Amino acid sequence: MFEITDQPLLLEPLVTIVKRSSSGAVATFLGVVREQTRGRQVRYLEYEAYPEMAIPKMREIADEIRRKWEVDEIAIVHRIGRLQIGEASVAIAVSAPHRREALAACAYAIDRLKEIVPIWKKEVWTDGEEWVGPSA
């Protein structure tokens, strides 16, 4: 399941979606908006996506994962729009027969998402704003 949404993200439904009878583990990742970034006070973040390309790129990450590890299911959901401090921007769940594969695949998914999925965030601080890249 791959999705871009303007609605709040919840992990529990994703866990249910990816769980199979063959699964011995479900690893999850939730990215949340931090209050401080590089010493600046964040007011909120604004996420923007190129959905027609982002969804196929998420699918591509899942294909890469399946070539590397034995996993059951993969779900990636990214939120767009304005997010307040503490809100979740991205949720990932990976189920697998064994925990090592689930954990490794989940870590890989978030790293690759930042590299190839066209989604951007603007940091709006108390004293300015900027579109930032993944190294920031």
For residues 43 and 97, which CB has a smaller minimum distance to other proteins in the complex?
Answer: 43
- Token pair of 130, please? 């900027």
For residues 23 and 106, which CB has a smaller minimum distance to other proteins in the complex?
Answer: 106
Report, in Å, the least distance between residue 22 CB and other proteins. 28
Report, in Å, the least distance between residue 132 CB and other proteins. 6
Report, in Å, the least distance between residue 64 CB and other proteins. 15
For residues 9 and 18, which CB has a smaller minimum distance to other proteins in the complex?
Answer: 9
Backbone angles phi, psi at 126, to 5 degrees: -65, -20
Report, in Å, the least distance between residue 81 CB and other proteins. 14
Applying CB under 8 A, the residues found at the interface with other proteins are 31-34, 37, 48, 50, 52-53, 56, 78, 89-90, 110, 113-122, 131-136
